A and B are shown apart, each in its own frame.
Chain A
Amino acid sequence: MNVDWLFDFPYRIKLNTDAIDKAVRGFAAAYSAFFDGIKMTLTSFVGAINWVLSHVPWFILVALVFFLGYKGHKKVRSGILYSILLCIIGIFGLWSLMNLTLSIVLAGVIVALLFGLPIGVLLSNSEHANRLIRPLLDMMQTMPVFVYLIPAVIFFGMGSASAVIATVIYAMVPVIRLTSLGIRQVNTEVVEAARSFGSTKLQLLFKVQVPQALPTIMAGVNQTLMMAMSMVVTCSMIGARGLGNEVLIAVNRIEISRGFIAGSAVVILAILLDRLTQGWFSEKKKEGGE
């Protein structure tokens, strides 16, 4: 007896994926001026950051890392440890690649914050917007990151601009969520007090809610930074140069040592970014109490 019908889904539609792809490409072509504008802006933004980074003498960057590490963690040992870690990247000859990677990550994070912070504030204020946008955030966070690469390439071509766009989409979620959460969690009586003294909405936001939520918001910024870092290797697939590209080359050529060294550099960079920003905001938090 034939029982295949039990296990085959009885109905399927024939999706014309070609048509969809064509439509998207057509859209990209039709508004190419708009997308080119964005691409130009982003590329020159990344270029500018890279220019600055590559004109900072290495010892100044090392000193800066020492200073931030010392200041954030109140220990000379942390400062020394972090600057040694940074030196390791230089010793392996990856300094300029690191600058390239860093400029894409920083550009991505800055754009993500530029959009993420206001969206977070908006969501904290409106239950309606919150319900609307939350599924979108869930989707942005769980969608396999490679999927973002395709539209990024279609609209912005290969290169650092698409890398920034993909990074922004992927990394923006935590700062939105935690900004919104932080502001919601501000003590109701503190908010009531501010309102009862006749604060305008903006005064309430900037004099009370944001400062009170700062530790949580900064945790979101830190998360965003970390997620941007984790996109580095993925973005090298769409032509982002830097450490990620080095890893990609090593994979293609099966050069284990090259891959391992570049990989380690990515890890070190991520650790440095994490610890330095974390130290900064946990210190802030202590000042503010709790």
Chain B
Amino acid sequence: MKIRSPMRAQSRWFRTGVATREAYRCAWMLGLLVLLASASACKVKLISDYDEVIDHSATELQKRVEGFVHNMEGAAGTPNGTYNANKAFYDDVRTDISALRVRAMAVSNNSLTLQEIDGIEKNIEKLRQLHDMGGANGLRPAVAEPALSALNVQFVALLKLELAKKRGE
């Protein structure tokens, strides 16, 4: 009688369909257990947590931008309202946005917030260009109002998402 080695017998057993199904089932159960065990450590989070700093910084930035645009509307047509007289504001705001972005980048699962910050930066740049284009007239109300409206929609969008991340806590 021929004696088969245990290794050969085992490899034959693994080739059968039953064994394959068994292996899949075990792998699936193991995966489920790992998933459940990790879920037990904390709740599932698909998006970053609420960040008080982002909330407050964005609120402050919105106030600054709105206050500036209203001042510029009042100063339109005067030397104080020209782009050259107000370049410093745009530099400051760029710095604020950069700080906001760095903060948002430090948090994982925060890509939507980062994209929203990028969108605000793009519109601040558009506002700067419009102000510059205005020459001696500066930022006229006819230009300033729709520009501010777009920026406010963006600030609301950013804050709405940030506040929703509180998840009822």
Q: A and B: partners? A: no
Which residues of B are in contact with A by a Cβ distance under 8 Å? none
